[in-house]
Structure 1
Amino acid sequence: MRPPRTHGPSVTPPRGKNSLGPTSLSEKARLTGEFADWNNLVHRAVWITGELDTAAVREAWRRVCRRHDVLRRTYVSADEACTHDDVLSEVEFHTAETDEDAIELMRRFLGTPFSLDGPGFARIAIVQRGERRHLFGIAMDHIITDLISWLRIKADFREFYDRALAGEDGEDGDLAEAGSYQDFASEQRRLFSSAWGEERRAFWSSYTREFGAYPPRFLADAEHTGGYRHAVVTRDLPADARARVHALSRQARVTPFAVVSSGVLAGVREVAGDPTAGISVAHHGRGLPGTSQTAGLFVQTVPLHLGRRSASPLETVRQVSDRTHDVFEYALPLTVAGMSWNETLTAADQEAAGLYVELNEYPRSTYYTPLFTGTGAEYVELSLPGDKIWTETVAVSWNLYETGPQLVADYNANYLPGAAVEELLGAAERFVLSATRI
């Protein structure tokens, strides 16, 4: 396990009041070294076409930061956070002569990693290319956000932009409706030191005794033959794939995610011959009361395993569903929890796992719908220095759009043979789509 990071005092901005409180366990994991080898940025860049009111953008961002206290957060230590009364970032405005210049400027602006000792963890900018064409960009450190938080912040941004356009006076009296991340962190720390925490310790101690402290690699004998070489295997699914997945989920009375995860787990067992196949899954841990609308870092990676017992597809799906409920019910950032309990529940410097599974039932383009009323949006793919590369992980995505459903795997071709990845996808598809016909 990586030793704890030496963390100095935060840089306090020269204005505004502040209050101190405990960090969340996810924040502590990041502050003590988890993912310290990469930039940890969550970022978006979008071409905006149409009439953009830059003053309204600035006011909307100010109000978003006032509504969500996590955007006004800095750190005194791994265990103590500082929530500032005033905003810590403002919208920057730039101009560029060409689209290429605008994109390069935005890449430099967004791509600078945040310092954990720094005065804020969000930056936002607009690069003007013409009266009706702007490049909009935003970056946040993953320590304060995840996908669900981004969607919440995005919705609030649009709401406040519309209200600024309508000429509202910008009073902050209506901003208290979102949950406080500081309240969540305090309650989580309180519970962690109580019987709630002991229940989770008992579960994860038992779980890792049965399956080990980390999901196994997809192929135990895989070897690196060079640097990272990204490869993608795409398998077209039948047009009714989404309907079949949902039919099996209804028959088994489980979630669609449990169905597709079962398929990948069964595929690993078939291809790799592993009797206790394991994958990593993301859990957005808004399990405490009052956190559904709270922005911050809640996502956690937890291991999910298929037991030793062979079963029919229906029984397997139900078994995986039960296990999913367990690991999500007791989910914690396992690195820092293990440090607190003096137990090895996972390794901070190890790959995420041999397999990572996600279910996308809607096109990713829905994440990039226009942010500002009366404008169009075109997403810009930016590759930033320091982006994390999972060299030993196969990321399997079930993309069950209404048209063109696909099963997609991203992997390192200089580590894993493509034939084994293709075999895995074929086995997963057979397990899920052959179990139920509609």
Structure 2
Amino acid sequence: MARLTGEFADWHNLHYSTMWLTGELDLTALRDAWWRVCLRHDVMRRTYLSADEARTFGDPQSTVEIHTADTDAAAIELMRRTLGSPFRLDGPGFSRVVVVQCGPRRFLFGIAIDHIVNDLTSWLRIRADFTDFYNRALAGDAGDITPVGSYQDFATEQRRLFAGAWGAERRAFWRSYTEEFGVFPPPFPVGAANTGEYRSRTVTRDLPANARSLVRDFARRARATPFAVATAGVLAAAQEVTGDPLVGISVNQHGRTLPGTAQTAGLFVQTVPMHLGKRFGSPHETVRDVFLRTLDVFEYSLPLLVCGRYWNETLMAADKEAGLYVGLNEQPPSSFNLAPFTGTDAEYVHLDFPGGKRWPQTVVVSWNLYETGPQLVAQYNENFLPGDAVERLLTSAERFALQTGGEDVRPSPGTTGQ
């Protein structure tokens, strides 16, 4: 919303992948494949006329850009400058594909999609379609493009629902929620103070190799979800570190759980607040409370931009930071890279682009429960938040979520377990 209303125009919050490709890359087939991707998914032909009105074009709004460079270093710098240029919200689309050729069999490939039209599930779908269309182009397949769900149709239907009883129920829920907890998760009250410009710091804790199974076992015993365990761990840790029983965090809700969105490319993610309103007698009770609250919060989420405007303008302070943000990741970043194109071998390259979205007063906590190398990671502004408080937060959260044993939580008489 800040971008669409004119602020933070340099933020582009890219989803991107870059890789060196060695082998036979057919640039004509690559261009044809991207053209088909853009025709298949209407959100790839989308732009904004204003903060309130989007437009979807009939023709693709981006093509594969081809450049050349004499050295690898020159190719990297050209890719960084070209792929990382911010998208204009009223410009020709929110996607970019760039190829820098350094020789007959060596290419630096990059793809970027603005987060304003894309979430992780959409990224994976677009990635799969791109490689599939490339293989079809190599085989001379010029057949029709199979239609998929339209983001515009989905958005129109959700706006219709929001104007009726469905929307009224959600507005009533969020009014009651903010009456109970306030308009947004509170700051992390640990003596924070600005001492300079934003300075990012990342703290990484290696977790036990069986961390994923420990969290899942905890969730099973509490009759909850692994997400509830991870979230409750940070909430309980915040209570312990701050001594404040009324703590809150922000988390992502994927509106893709709504009907008709599984194969639709577009942005189906919004940030919603989660809270603990009191202290509980056992870790299982804490997890159970968080789990039941997630059911309500996600059931009554408002997945559309227009609903986001309503939420921002009437129920919460726009662009205010939460003190803590929590995410649960079970796939390593490398699994989200674009697959090598047929006939090539890939070497993935990590590039940092300027202009990314930053929250100087938020601790971003990520539970990375990969099959190998699980980690607990915190990113924060060390010129605002004291590092010892972040370290204590991680220690407490890990101790909470990875504990073993404990009592089973069984339904009370007259209730039904979930």
Map of 1:10 onto structure 2: none
- One-letter identity of the residue aligned with 1:311: G
**In the alignment, does 2:25 pair up with 1:55?**
no
Map of 2:143 onto structure 1: 171
Coordinate RMSD, CA, aligned:
2.1
Which shifted more, 225-234 or 88-97? 225-234
Map of 1:267 onto structure 2: 237
1:256–1:100: structure 2 CA closer, same or farther, 3 Å change rule? same
- One-letter identity of the residue aligned with 1:89: S
**In the alignment, does 2:262 pair up with 1:292?**
yes
Give secondary structure in 2 for the equivalent of 1:162. helix
Q: How many pairs were matched up?
A: 406
- Whether contact under 8 Å (1:241, 1:433) holds in the other structure is yes
- Whether contact under 8 Å (1:146, 1:297) holds in the other structure is yes
Match of 1:75 among 48, 56, 75: 48
1:119–1:335: structure 2 CA closer, same or farther, 3 Å change rule? closer
Map of 2:403 onto structure 1: 434
State how far apart, in whole Å, the 1-side matches of 2:160 and 2:2 are: 17
Q: CA deviation at 1:43?
A: 2.6
Task: State the TM-score, normalized to the length of structure 1.
Answer: 0.87
Match of 2:372 among 400, 403, 427: 403
Which shifted more, 60-69 or 123-132? 123-132
Match of 2:359 among 373, 386, 390: 390
Map of 1:305 onto structure 2: 275
Q: CA deviation at 1:357?
A: 1.1
**In the alignment, does 2:99 pair up with 1:141?**
no
State how far apart, in whole Å, the 1-side matches of 2:217 and 2:190 are: 34
Q: Deviations over 1:37-82 (max 9, x none)?
A: 6234333222222221111111110110111011111233333322
1:237–1:220: structure 2 CA closer, same or farther, 3 Å change rule? closer
Q: CA deviation at 1:135?
A: 0.9
1:33–1:328: structure 2 CA closer, same or farther, 3 Å change rule? farther
Which shifted more, 239-248 or 304-313? 304-313
Which shifted more, 303-312 or 260-269? 303-312
State how far apart, in whole Å, the 2-side matches of 1:111 and 1:404 are: 30
Q: CA deviation at 1:407?
A: 1.2
1:96–1:283: structure 2 CA closer, same or farther, 3 Å change rule? same
- Whether contact under 8 Å (2:191, 2:385) holds in the other structure is no
Map of 2:212 onto structure 1: 242
Q: CA deviation at 1:309?
A: 4.0
**In the alignment, does 2:172 pair up with 1:202?**
yes
5 Å-filtered alignment, 1:10-409, equals 31-32=4-5, 36=9, 38-168=11-141, 170-172=142-144, 174-176=145-147, 178-219=148-189, 221-332=191-302, 337=307, 340=310, 344-351=314-321, 353-409=322-378
Give secondary structure in 2 for the equivalent of 1:136. strand
- Whether contact under 8 Å (2:17, 2:338) holds in the other structure is no
Give secondary structure in 1 for the equivalent of 2:109. strand
Give secondary structure in 1 for the equivalent of 2:396. helix
Map of 1:425 onto structure 2: 394
Give secondary structure in 2 for the equivalent of 1:239. coil
Which shifted more, 230-239 or 195-204? 230-239
- Whether contact under 8 Å (2:10, 2:86) holds in the other structure is no
1:64–1:408: structure 2 CA closer, same or farther, 3 Å change rule? same
- Whether contact under 8 Å (2:325, 2:365) holds in the other structure is yes
State how far apart, in whole Å, the 1-side matches of 2:3 and 2:312 are: 18
- Whether contact under 8 Å (1:335, 1:348) holds in the other structure is no
Q: CA deviation at 1:394?
A: 0.9
Q: CA deviation at 1:144?
A: 1.3
State how far apart, in whole Å, the 1-side matches of 2:335 and 2:217 are: 25
- One-letter identity of the residue aligned with 1:409: A
Map of 1:5 onto structure 2: none
Which shifted more, 428-437 or 289-298? 428-437
State how far apart, in whole Å, the 2-side matches of 1:48 and 1:112 are: 22
- Whether contact under 8 Å (1:41, 1:142) holds in the other structure is yes
- Whether contact under 8 Å (1:369, 1:377) holds in the other structure is no
State how far apart, in whole Å, the 1-side matches of 2:138 and 2:334 are: 26
- One-letter identity of the residue aligned with 1:380: V
- Whether contact under 8 Å (1:216, 1:354) holds in the other structure is yes
Q: CA deviation at 1:380?
A: 2.1
State how far apart, in whole Å, the 2-side matches of 1:149 and 1:30 are: 21
Give secondary structure in 2 for the equivalent of 1:199. helix
Q: CA deviation at 1:392?
A: 1.0
1:81–1:343: structure 2 CA closer, same or farther, 3 Å change rule? closer
Q: Deviations over 1:360-380 (max 9, x none)?
A: 222211111524134232332
Task: State the TM-score, normalized to the length of structure 2.
Answer: 0.91
Give secondary structure in 1 for the equivalent of 2:271. strand
State how far apart, in whole Å, the 2-side matches of 1:404 and 1:159 are: 31
